[in-house]
Amino acid sequence: MTSKSLEHWKTSGHYFKWREHSIFYQDQGKGDALLCLHGFPTASYDWQRIWPSLAKHFRVIGFDLLGFGFSDKPRRHRYSILEQADIVAGLLASLNIRRTHILAHDLGDSVAQECLARNETGTGIFSFDIGSICFLNGGLFPEVHRPRLIQTLLRSPLGPLLVQGLNEKKFRESFSAVFGANTQPSAEDLSDFWHLIELNRGEKLAHRLLQYIPERRKHRDRWLGAMQNTRVPLRLINGLEDPVSGKHLVKRYRELIPNADVVELEGIGHYPQVEAPGAVLAAFLDFHKKIP
């Protein structure tokens, strides 16, 4: 059974046609556009705790990446960060948005990096300007990314077999392990997140969706170069207790990114926008106050 909050999220959303696929999205508020990009394995609903506040300041657009949440989940598709970035551009073009800020998390970080690289070189099927990017915890640099054991196994030749055994109990255990010790997801949170994953048997796609991990290695230098040379303002808001991309990511970010702008959240894990929405919102709005 899903929460009233998730039901409202679904009924208040819209659908965009990308080629033969249906993509679920939200579009609320007025002002400068802000695109919110979610991570693996959840959906745009990740942003709902800060969404109403963001919509007071921005026109906020969030969508479920292809293969996630309420968007289509084609069975034999070759999922790619590059295609997800194409969908970003297509959605923005359909909404007549030519400039947007970006707030990204986890897999969404990689999609944002690809968008930034295209922005720097003027490539891509559609063009749009990026006003700023704020990253949350994610695999920005593959050399310091620490995937969970289950993610590594799902990407192995055993992946197609392992997805057959995925269930809500295993999900709850694995998912909770990336949260802070004192900011664990509630039973309702876990139920909603699982619903978004298993909808249309999406849990059977986990091994296909995780192919973004080798893509990060392939495009690492191009994405890093874009981050190092861009004039687009960047900020990282990081939950330090995250075992996947916590304080070790912050250390590497400071080493690689000139004049690194970082906000560190003590005691917070991989999902800052869920675990510490007030702190994330404050850090994000503070970032925007400093943008010319």
At 265, is the pLDDT very low, low, confident or very high (cuts 50, 70, 90)? Answer: very high
| 135 bridge partner residues | 104, 236
Give the whole-number percent of the chain exceeding pLDDT 90.
Answer: 80
**Cβ pair 69, 196 in contact under 8 A:** yes
Determine whether 255 is exposed, middle or buried from the number of CB atoms within 10 Å of its CB (0-12, 13-18, 19+).
exposed
- Indicate if the pLDDT at residue 168 is higher than 80: yes
Q: How far apart are the C-alpha atoms of 88 and 145, rounded to whole Å?
A: 24
- Dmax (CA) for the chain in angstroms is 52
Q: How far apart are the C-alpha atoms of 272 and 275, rounded to whole Å?
A: 5
At 150, is the pLDDT very low, low, confident or very high (cuts 50, 70, 90)? Answer: low
> Does 154 or 44 have the greater pLDDT score?
44
H or E element at residue 50: none
Cis check for the bond before 41: say yes or no (omega within 30 of 0).
yes
**Beta strands at 59-63 and 33-37: parallel, antiparallel or unpaired:** parallel
Q: How far apart are the C-alpha atoms of 87 and 61, rounded to whole Å?
A: 13
Q: How far apart are the C-alpha atoms of 281 and 124, rounded to whole Å?
A: 31
Report how far apart, in Å, the C-alpha atoms of 215 and of each of 111, 192, 228 are: 11, 29, 19
The predicted model scores a pTM of 0.95
The structure tokens listed for 5 are 């909050």
For residue 25, the one-letter residue type is Y
Report how far apart, in Å, the C-alpha atoms of 161 and of each of 42, 67, 157, 171 are: 21, 19, 8, 16
Domain architecture of the chain: domains with CATH: 4-287 (3.40.50.1820)
**Beta strands at 234-239 and 14-18: parallel, antiparallel or unpaired:** unpaired
The structure tokens listed for 79 are 């999922």
Q: How far apart are the C-alpha atoms of 176 and 182, rounded to whole Å?
A: 11
- Indicate if the pLDDT at residue 149 is higher than 80: no
**220-236 residues labelled b (16+ CB within 10 A) or e (exposed):** beebbebbeebebbbbb
- Indicate if the pLDDT at residue 234 is higher than 70: yes
